[in-house]
A and B are shown apart, each in its own frame.
Chain A
Amino acid sequence: MTGYVLELAQAALALLLAPGVVGLVRWMKARLQNRRGAPVWQPYRELGKLFRKEVVVSSNASWLFHAAPFVVFASVVAVTFLVPILAVPLPFDGIGDLLVVVYLLLLGTFFLSLAGLDPGSPFGGMGASRAMTVAALAEPTVALAIFALALGAGSTNLGQIVARTMTDPGAALSPGHLFAFGALFIVTLAETGRLPVDNPATHLELTMIHEAMILEYSGRYLALIEWAAAVKLLIFFSLLGNLFVPWGVSLALTPATLALAVASLLVKVVILAGAVAVLETRIAKLRLFRVPELLSVSFVLALLAVTSSFLLR
């Protein structure tokens, strides 16, 4: 029973925390660029505002345009039940392993891209085409990183991967783990639409991806999509944090360990958000056709991860 309560608490925490993470990255970026920046809770205000505004839908759009925000949001929230954000093992571990997580996120991207094409605007089509291209090219890296992690843990189930690294701390510093971390970090930047792959801060540039795809959305639909994007960022952060550096994740369901788990999650998220902020300040956006090169770097890292964890077993 406590397990199920924990699942709900974990999902609720992810939903509540996610806009703050986006705000945190924005604020840190602003400070690094000598700007004052909006407060960390600005995204909450934006979501609140969007939920209170009316929706404008293109006359060309079909039912799919109305359905897509719900599919995107539901698939991302479903993932928060499967990913170890606070504790392992979770009662829903058997519902989906790491592969399911990856394909659930692809489900959201798929419907969002279709919705991008639906109003018939060239921006939507452009964004959809690019978002799907990046998602497809990131896929092999993700699969190989999963392979590397599964080799160590003997399972693709997230709970077991975390538990295994905790019982064998040396594994966290093995070359396989380090390479896989590097590979997944690059994928995180690509999948969550951060620099140098996509620029989350711009509208109406010919280089944009995610923002172009959702250009026709407004009101509560846009709020759901923006919120889902924030949760996706948090999911990737907690995957990076908890799969590779699992300490802090609660193994026993006592209040003390759970408090520690929340604290360690916050620390990890702040560190990763800082890394993203520094990176986004230091580097410029890549030309779209240079993005595959970046993704092939991550692919090579993932391949090295598998090879080394295989040979050093």
Chain B
Amino acid sequence: MAVAQALLVVMLTGYPIGALAALGLRGAAGRGLVAAGALVGALAGLALGAVCLAAGLAPTFTASFLPLTGVMLRVDGLSAFFLIVIGVVGAAVAVYGFGYSAAYDGRHSLPMLGALLNVLLLSLSVQVMADNALTFLMAWETMSLSAYALVLTEHDRPGTVRAARWYIGLTHAGFAALVAMFLLLSAGDLTTSFAAMRAVSLPPGVRDAAFLLGLFGFGAKAGIVPLHVWLPMAHPVAPSHVSALMSGVVIKMGVYGLVRVTGDLLAGGPAWWGGLVLGLGTVSALLGVLYALMEHDLKRLLAFHSVENIGIIFMGIGAGLIFQSFQLPALAALGLVAGLYHTLNHACFKGLLFLGAGSVVHALGTRNMEAMGGLVKRMPRTAVCFLVGACAISALPPLNGFVSEWLVFQALLGGSAIPQPEIALIMPIAVAMLALTSGLAAVCFVKAFGITFLAIPRSPEAERAHEAPRSMQVGMGALALACVGLGLAPSFVVRGLGAALSGLDRVASADVTFTVGLPLRVPGAVGEMSSPLLALGLLLLVGLVLLGLWLGGADRRLRIGDTWGCGRIGQTPRMEYTATAFAEPLRRVFAELYRPTRDLSIDFHPASKYFVQSIEYRSEIHPWFERVVYAPLFHALRRAATWTRRLQGGSLHLYLVYMTFALLVLLTVARWWR
């Protein structure tokens, strides 16, 4: 307990010191102290989470002094797990940020960048420890606002302000829903502790309303389709280490909130809750990856993949909630473990990929993949880190992404245990969609890595690219190691997640135990596998093949020659396959969904139409959510605004009448309510 308290104090002082240093100090010293504060805070949070999870502690903390008397903190298993997620990514981002923010030296946005980064990390940590609605909502809003300001760091670039507006609009719509939800749960008093909320039993209608409000609020933060539109706009325009933090951790707060509210405070619900979460997750996963495929802006591509992975996480959690409603505790635990495992994994590999993309953008000054290429020779370490992330997100064994997707598959395959066939038949569809999603993700990352890092540079900037500074390499390397480690030690991670679920014993029964062993055996799963042995086997086989070639007397000569170009002499980057071309087959296959616009103008020679002087071809894809969902919504809002404008006559007398009238109505209602 004393250790936990000390770690909490270290964390709660580290971040503010970093934030203040940003405002006070300039130059490398300022950046260093900002990074140090964030690093200390993140590592203390990580240690706090690890200690609480390992020892099974659930310490509570309250502040007894004004103005923080309403603040209540408690670190149970779920909080501890999310503290670890924040700590791992936060620490890597802090180190990386030291080198990355050097580009902002001398610009007026640097102090705010450093300060708000620390504020964001602090609010994230407080939020997962919050033990009453007031603390939670305050931390939530601090998180949203600091992230909003961080997105605006490069506000002078086109598109940034628009992206930030989308973000703040949707996140505040979500916030309103969350306030309403907590008011329902706490019967109007936001300082009610979570323990008291667990104890009350609400009528089913109120529970359903609270669930739907929560799903909207948390879904908007997590970026679930159709509330995801802000995500591919806002994440790419932020500085890359902030993008890593936003995609790796901030959107996970939606996951945390959903699990906390549905799994803990409401303790599960009818099957349609889980079905809705599973369905939204499936749609998000598939649409996220399909739109990512068509992106050639490296960071936007990664942002769409966040939508996909949040979808996969929601699939696991949704399956868990469905199983819970059918009283299948082992499978419910499996679903939640799978979802949370993927949360941690996605935090690591998406953080890593955004940091890698940041290094590339740092070196080239562009996010356009068609201007990249050949970077594997110019930025070898960044390339290796990015490749690890790409393999992990494509669910290739034996890395971490594979392990958690395997667990999600196992949870969904367990759907055959559900007695109602009409619900159980949802599961195979989800399995198929998950398989399609992971296959398409692999296509997308062959494109992302292949076009960005391999072959010949496609632009002079790519030709001149340089390796990232040391601190940025360390940040990426740490996350790459985390991706490998989480893949190779699945049974330890799963046991830790089992401990994290201990607070949710009304959903996932406490007597489901997870054992540590070489093969990953999980209660409820219908198969088993062992990623460490798989990795060992693959390494051994590569060694044996090399040995075999050597012993077998295979020819060892190697000649460097030109790429074969059908007899053409000399090869230019224009002959290479482009990212657009790479994704073209899938664009045709899913043309119904994309509905690309094509614009072809041919300039003929005036003498004959058989001589073409120039051809201009332009093709674009506009995601249809903005058009189908949001355009009618904005239209209706604008009409409503025009209509209400009639009330505003500009006369003070009129406003006095309104106010008096409103007050009288409210008083009457209040009296009648009693």
Q: What residues of B have a CB within 8 angstroms of the CB of A95 in the complex?
A: 519, 529-530, 533-534, 537
CB of A13 within 8 A of chain B?
no
CB distance from B341 to the nearest CB of A (A): 15
Max chain B C-beta neighbours (<10 A), residue from A75, A117, A157, A303? A117
A140 contact from B406, B435, B537, Cβ within 8 A: B435
Q: Which residues from 228 to 278 on chain A have a C-beta closer than 8 Å to any C-beta of chain B? A: none
Contact with B along A122-161 (1 / 0, CB 8 A): 1111101110110111111111101100110011110000
- CB of A122 within 8 A of CB of B541, answer no
A99 contact from B374, B449, B527, B549, Cβ within 8 A: B527
- CB of B559 within 8 A of CB of A57, answer yes
Q: What residues of A have a CB within 8 angstroms of the CB of B560 in the complex?
A: 56-59
CA distance A223 to B552 in the complex (A): 13
Contact with A along B408-428 (1 / 0, CB 8 A): 011001001000010011011
Comparing B304-312, B322-330, B575-583, the segment that makes contact with chain A is B575-583
Comparing A17-25, A30-38, A47-55, A192-200, the segment that makes contact with chain B is A47-55
Comparing B110-118, B262-270, B584-592, the segment that makes contact with chain A is B584-592
B397 contact from A104, A130, A156, Cβ within 8 A: A104
CA distance A306 to B546 in the complex (A): 43
Q: What residues of B have a CB within 8 angstroms of the CB of A119 in the complex?
A: 455, 563
CB distance from A156 to the nearest CB of B (A): 3
B582 contact from A128, A141, A142, A154, Cβ within 8 A: A128
- CB of B583 within 8 A of CB of A129, answer yes
- CB of B564 within 8 A of CB of A114, answer no
Q: Which residues from 504 to 532 on chain B have a C-beta closer than 8 Å to any C-beta of chain A? A: 518-519, 526-530
CB distance from A80 to the nearest CB of B (A): 10
Known: A53-B555, A106-B396, A121-B563. A220 touches B537 (CB 8 A): no
- CB of A55 within 8 A of CB of B558, answer yes
- CB of B584 within 8 A of CB of A117, answer no
CB of A2 within 8 A of chain B?
no
- CB of B577 within 8 A of CB of A117, answer yes
Contact with A along B225-257 (1 / 0, CB 8 A): 000000000000000000000000000000000
CB of B433 within 8 A of chain A?
yes
Comparing B39-47, B271-279, B438-446, the segment that makes contact with chain A is B438-446
CA distance A154 to B527 in the complex (A): 9
CA distance A293 to B374 in the complex (A): 36
- CB of B530 within 8 A of CB of A94, answer yes
B442 contact from A56, A135, A289, Cβ within 8 A: A135
- CB of B558 within 8 A of CB of A57, answer yes
CA distance A144 to B374 in the complex (A): 39
CB of A224 within 8 A of chain B?
yes
- CB of A59 within 8 A of CB of B561, answer yes
CB distance from B577 to the nearest CB of A (A): 2
CB of B152 within 8 A of chain A?
no
Contact with A along B551-576 (1 / 0, CB 8 A): 01011011111111100000101011
CB of B450 within 8 A of chain A?
yes
- CB of B526 within 8 A of CB of A125, answer no
CB of A178 within 8 A of chain B?
no
Max chain A C-beta neighbours (<10 A), residue from B402, B413, B559? B413
Contact with B along A196-222 (1 / 0, CB 8 A): 000000000000000000011001100
CA distance A95 to B473 in the complex (A): 34
A310 contact from B374, B402, B425, B545, Cβ within 8 A: B425
A292 contact from B406, B563, B589, Cβ within 8 A: B589
- CB of B428 within 8 A of CB of A216, answer no
Q: Which residue of B lies closest to A75 (CB)?
A: B538
CA distance A52 to B511 in the complex (A): 61
- CB of A97 within 8 A of CB of B527, answer yes
CB of A64 within 8 A of chain B?
yes
- CB of A140 within 8 A of CB of B436, answer yes
- CB of A137 within 8 A of CB of B439, answer yes
- CB of B589 within 8 A of CB of A140, answer no
- CB of A117 within 8 A of CB of B446, answer yes
- CB of B530 within 8 A of CB of A156, answer no
- CB of A120 within 8 A of CB of B549, answer no
Max chain B C-beta neighbours (<10 A), residue from A128, A147, A223? A147
- CB of A132 within 8 A of CB of B406, answer no
- CB of A154 within 8 A of CB of B526, answer yes
- CB of A59 within 8 A of CB of B562, answer yes
Known: A56-B561, A156-B526. A219 touches B442 (CB 8 A): no
CB of B628 within 8 A of chain A?
no
- CB of A136 within 8 A of CB of B443, answer yes
Q: What residues of B have a CB within 8 angstroms of the CB of A172 in the complex?
A: none
Known: A60-B455, A303-B428, A307-B425. A135 touches B439 (CB 8 A): yes
- CB of A52 within 8 A of CB of B555, answer yes
Q: Which residue of A lies closest to B558 (CB)?
A: A55
CB distance from A273 to the nearest CB of B (A): 26
CB of A185 within 8 A of chain B?
no
CB of A103 within 8 A of chain B?
yes
CB distance from A161 to the nearest CB of B (A): 10
Q: What residues of A have a CB within 8 angstroms of the CB of B129 in the complex?
A: none
- CB of B563 within 8 A of CB of A303, answer no
- CB of B421 within 8 A of CB of A310, answer yes
- CB of A113 within 8 A of CB of B436, answer no
- CB of B454 within 8 A of CB of A122, answer no
CA distance A58 to B560 in the complex (A): 6
Q: What residues of A have a CB within 8 angstroms of the CB of B427 in the complex?
A: 147
CB of A288 within 8 A of chain B?
yes
CA distance A64 to B573 in the complex (A): 19
CB distance from A290 to the nearest CB of B (A): 11
CB of B434 within 8 A of chain A?
yes
Contact with A along B370-395 (1 / 0, CB 8 A): 00011011000000000100010011
B545 contact from A74, A99, A103, A144, Cβ within 8 A: A74
- CB of A94 within 8 A of CB of B575, answer no
Q: What residues of B have a CB within 8 angstroms of the CB of A117 in the complex?
A: 446, 450-451, 454-455, 577
CB of A6 within 8 A of chain B?
no
Q: Which residue of B lies closest to A224 (CB)?
A: B545
Q: Which residue of A lies closest to B443 (CB)?
A: A132
CA distance A306 to B557 in the complex (A): 52
CB of B542 within 8 A of chain A?
yes
Q: What residues of B have a CB within 8 angstroms of the CB of A73 in the complex?
A: 541, 545
- CB of A129 within 8 A of CB of B585, answer yes
Q: What residues of A have a CB within 8 angstroms of the CB of B557 in the complex?
A: 54-55, 219
- CB of B530 within 8 A of CB of A96, answer yes
Q: Which residue of A lies closest to B433 (CB)?
A: A140
Q: Which residues from 433 to 481 on chain B have a C-beta closer than 8 Å to any C-beta of chain A? A: 433-436, 438-440, 442-443, 445-447, 449-451, 454-456
Q: What 18 new A-B contacts, CB under 8 Å, besides A125-B582, A155-B526?
A: A54-B557, A55-B558, A57-B558, A58-B562, A70-B545, A71-B542, A73-B541, A99-B527, A110-B396, A128-B450, A136-B442, A138-B439, A140-B435, A140-B439, A157-B527, A224-B545, A306-B428, A310-B424
What 3 A-B pairs have minimum CB-CB distances, sorted nearest first?
A125-B577, A136-B439, A143-B435
- Return 23 A-B CB contacts under 8 Å, by A number: A60-B563, A78-B541, A99-B406, A100-B397, A100-B534, A104-B534, A106-B439, A110-B391, A117-B455, A119-B563, A120-B373, A120-B455, A122-B576, A124-B577, A126-B581, A129-B581, A136-B586, A143-B434, A144-B432, A150-B527, A156-B413, A216-B564, A303-B432
Residues of B within 8 A of A (CB): 373-374, 376-377, 387, 391, 394-397, 402, 406, 409-410, 413, 416, 421, 424-425, 427-428, 431-436, 438-440, 442-443, 445-447, 449-451, 454-456, 518-519, 526-530, 533-534, 537-538, 541-542, 545-546, 549, 552, 554-555, 557-565, 571, 573, 575-577, 581-586, 588-589
